[in-house]
Amino acid sequence: MRVAIIAGARPNFVKIAPLMKAIAAAPSITPILVHTGQHYDHSMSDQFFTDLDIPSADFNLGVGSGTHAVQTAEVMQRLEPVLQDCKPDIVVVVGDVNSTVAAALTAVKLGIRVAHVEAGLRSFDRTMPEEINRIVTDAISDLLFVSEESGCTNLHREGVAKGKVYFVGNVMIDALEMSRPRWSRSRITARIGLEPGAAYALLTLHRPSNADDPKVLESLIGALRTVARRLPILFPVHPRVRRLLAESDGVTWRALDGGSTLPGSGLFCLDPLGYLDFIALMSGARLVLTDSGGVQEETTILGVPCLTLRHNTERPVTVTHGTNRIVGTDPTIIIDAAVRALEDPTRKHATPPLWDGKAGDRIVSVVLNDAPDTLFDAGTAEARA
């Protein structure tokens, strides 16, 4: 069986790593890995392939940056001849970036079956480009692999036939667990200059709704500067956000391996980190503040308090089972929630159903039609033989 796996952006690379590992253990599958080039910076692409032991891509489309329309169109235009030449039996897409929907559209128009990994997630906010990508990809996919029970509920509400939906668990957690021996050895805190055992918070911020409006961004930075008076906040900056922060007051750019000890307070901007260093930093944080979906999932498994700087989440299990709280973008609420989380970090949390590091294996079983009698019940959290 020829299986084409399409990835284009940093979160995609994390999700395909467990899939590539599971496929490597299935001799009846010939994988075809296509990198669209949506993310192309070394720290956002090559470093992830190295950190996660992902084999080199068979094809790199070199799409690069652009508007949503331009980027989606470029992926479709460049991917079509690759699929026509390789003739895969199925195309696997992951996540919700422009490369995801573009690859799904291209494949389905060529009559190739499509499998969507991380299907069914909904924020119910159509101003988010990712929400549109999720809805369209799910609507045209043949196999829908769901990471949490809300995804099953959403797809059933949208009229998707149950036979298409498989509740398999979360490949993001597969990646975290299979790389744990490596990220636990990271020396990133020493490289930043943190004293052993020093408290710190970790920040990620890249959503257009937060980062593209200077007034919103400045308001958020102001709130974070207040929180940073209590402990240092480490902020690995996405390349597209860097230029927006260049003239912001109250932030300090911190070089890795700078040699000096990090002060006990302040907001410190870092270059983007590789996967292993980033997870290591997250695992030791007192608090994580983010607008990223994947980070909400990772903090849930790591047991680290997480404040989501958005008004919604497409991953509600991180709130019901995990350590995540949705706090929005109001500075007063952010500051209050951060202070309370730092003063009382204890919060009961549980591992969401099927987040056990085996999602990739389940997906491959279904793709090979080797799952015993509807292996996964899309309506419950339990696998059934």
The full set of domains in the chain, from first to last, is 2-170+354-367 (3.40.50.2000), 181-343 (3.40.50.2000)
pLDDT at 246 over 70: no
AA identity, residue 173: I
pTM of the entire predicted model: 0.93
What's the rounded mean pLDDT across residues 354-379?
Answer: 78
Q: Active-site residue among 35, 42, 68, 206?
A: 206
Average of per-residue pLDDT across 170-184: 98
The pLDDT of residue 227 is 97
Give yes or no for residue 383 having a pLDDT over 60: no
User: With bands split at pLDDT 50, 70 and 90, how would you rate the model's confidence at 39?
Assistant: low
User: What residues form DSSP beta bridges with 4?
Assistant: 32, 91
For the segment 230-252, the average pLDDT, to the nearest whole number, is: 81
Of 50-64, 167-181, 368-382, where does mean pLDDT reach its minimum?
368-382
Helix locations, the chain, DSSP H: 10-24, 46-51, 68-86, 98-109, 129-140, 149-157, 171-178, 180-183, 188-192, 208-211, 214-227, 239-245, 275-283, 293-302, 317-320, 331-343, 359-367
| Bridge partners, 171 (sequence order) | none
Look at 32-46, 182-196, 273-287, 334-348 and tell me which has the smallest mean pLDDT.
32-46
- What pLDDT, on a 0 to 100 scale, did the predictor assign at position 366? 96
Strand partners, 64: none
The whole-number pLDDT of residue 244 equals 73
Range in 111-120, 259-268, 320-329 with the lowest mean pLDDT: 259-268
pLDDT band at 42 (very low <50, low <70, confident <90, very high): low
Q: What is the pLDDT of residue 382?
A: 41
Does 374 have pLDDT greater than 80? no
pLDDT band at 206 (very low <50, low <70, confident <90, very high): confident
d(Cα 202, Cα 299) in Å, to the nearest integer? 11
349 is catalytic: no
Q: How much is the average pLDDT of 136-157?
A: 97
Q: Is the pLDDT of residue 139 over 70?
A: yes
Model confidence over 338-353: pLDDT tens digits? 999 999 877 778 999 9
53 band by pLDDT with thresholds 50, 70 and 90: very high
Residue 179 CA: distances (Å) to CA of 91, 256, 257: 26, 22, 23
Residue range 358-379: mean pLDDT, rounded: 75
Distance between first and last Cα of the chain: 24
Residue with tokens 């940093």: 10
Percentage with pLDDT > 90 across the chain: 79
Mean pLDDT of the chain: 91
Query: What is the predicted pLDDT for the residue at 373?
Result: 46
